[in-house]
Amino acid sequence: MAHNPHAAQGPEGNHDPAGSTQMFRAFVDDGAPQPGRQAAAPAGPRIGLILGVVVAVVIVAAVAWLALS
């Protein structure tokens, strides 16, 4: 059996045989956002999506108008 130095040793009751819980908690604690620091959302993709939807609605409306007339 391989020795894992990061895993809790002994009969503490919260022993994680894989050590994944401790590693996950360390990952979450390291990646926590800092208070007062917010990343600005890029407006480029959102504007492109809105324009794409508007163009699609106009095309569908034009096709429907031509089909019904």
On whether residue 55 sits in a domain, the answer given is: yes
DSSP state, 17?
T
On whether residue 11 sits in a domain, the answer given is: no
On whether residue 7 sits in a domain, the answer given is: no
**Structural domain total, the chain:** 1
Q: What is the pLDDT of residue 38?
A: 61
User: Whole-prediction pTM value?
Assistant: 0.38
Query: Looking at the predicted structure, is the pLDDT value of residue 46 above 90?
Result: no
Q: What is the pLDDT of residue 57?
A: 97
Q: What is the pLDDT of residue 63?
A: 96
Sign of the C-alpha dihedral, residues 28, 31, 36, 39?
Answer: negative
On whether residue 35 sits in a domain, the answer given is: yes
Q: What is the pLDDT of residue 54?
A: 96
Query: Looking at the predicted structure, is the pLDDT value of residue 58 above 80?
Result: yes
Query: Looking at the predicted structure, is the pLDDT value of residue 66 above 90?
Result: yes
Residue range of the domain that includes 53: 20-68
**How far is the CA of 5 from the CAs of 1, 17, 25, 54, 64, in angstroms?**
13, 11, 16, 58, 68
